[in-house]
Amino acid sequence: MLPADSNAPGGAPGADDPHPIAQLGITGAELESSLTRRVDWQQLVGALPHLVWVARPDGYHEYFNQQWFDYTGLTLAESLGDGWNPPFHPDERPLARRLWDEATLTGEPYEIEYRLRRHDGVYRWMLGRAVPLRDESGTLLKWFGTCTDIEELKVALDDAAELRHELERRATRDSLTGLANRELLFEQMEHKLSQRRRTGMAVVYMDLDWFKEINDRLGHSAGDRLLAFIGERLRDTVRQGDIAARIGGDEFVVVGEAQDHEEAERFAQRVVEGVRGRLSVSGESVEVAASVGVTYVDAADTRSADTVLAHADARMYEEKRRR
């Protein structure tokens, strides 16, 4: 049995009787047992590393342990009833209220993760749980609830999620330019090839002109900055749904929708114009230019991504030899 409220209003029965215990029909052994249970309860909830609370069957919060008051800075009067909700982060208050209402209506256990305001104004993540306590007949007597600090766990999980995202990004993205890498390019091309219905596709294979000379003259760091800059220009040039990838060295591939060969050629020209221009690298003005080969893939074409790329690559080298 949970402890009775020691501050309940009203006088005790038999207050004027020299033997009030006898008037209540309580033996000395029963009184000692009741007091022992109350002491045991207070010791238990005081030793738990949780904020502990007790609510009536209708959801009215009527008890909090000292850890609750120490953490929130609230008084008992401020916490009773629905006073537990205001310290919740504003983003989680409506959900906490709704879940608690559902729990008290259905008698099902309550569980939620939320941020709880500390006495100094800092919010920390908590895991809130409550279970219904019932008698032998199944009647709900009380709700016993706890708030467990999970801030460090949430931070660790967030860090792990960021690390996983970064590893996934590195597995599919070129580390220097942030563009798709070869693996992601093939995956997305195969998907686009399988999803074509009424429109075709332009595949542009691009190789930077004079990159080796720039790299040899200005150094590899300057060459890396040039490649990163090309990545930025390509991201600004492509349309939503297009694919831009660096597949190695100074070679890039851009894929986009096209209705016919002419539109594919215009698409390739836009890519070239997007990267063309002068760039300051290591204090020197560098002229950026590129050679491209473009392949148009119509809706009925059954070639694989590897074959299409090989065709575009061959056309790019044809153009480079003509220069």
pTM assigned to the model: 0.51
149, 207, 242, 250: which is the annotated catalytic residue?
250
Find out whether 111 and 105 touch, Cβ atoms under 8 Å. Answer: no
**250 among known catalytic residues:** yes
Q: Are residues 254 and 312 in the same domain?
A: yes
Residue 141 is assigned to a structural domain of this protein: yes
* pLDDT value of position 169: 64
- pLDDT tens-digit profile of 134-158? 999 999 999 999 999 999 999 888 8
Residues 288 and 224 in one domain: yes
What is the spatial distance between Cα 233 and Cα 254, in angstroms, rounded to a whole number?
12
CATH number at residue 243: 3.30.70.270
Please check whether residue 260 lies inside any domain of the structure.
Answer: yes
Place of tokens 């999803």: 195
Q: pLDDT tens, 219-231?
A: 888 888 899 999 9
Task: Give the domain range for residue 73.
Answer: 48-155
Are 116 and 193 members of one domain? Answer: no
* 187 and 118 share one domain: no
16-72 pLDDT, tens digit each: 444 333 333 434 444 345 444 555 666 777 777 789 999 999 999 999 999 999 999
Token pair recorded at residue 214: 């720039």
Q: How far apart are CA 79 and CA 189, in angstroms?
A: 60
Q: Which residues does residue 245 pair with via DSSP β-bridges, in sequence order?
A: 180, 253
Number of domains in the chain: 2
Q: Is 101 in the same domain as 209? A: no
Angstrom CA distances, 262 to 128, 257, 273, 296, stand at: 63, 12, 17, 9
Cα dihedral sign, 99-104-108-112:
positive
Q: What is the mean pLDDT of residues 260-287?
A: 88
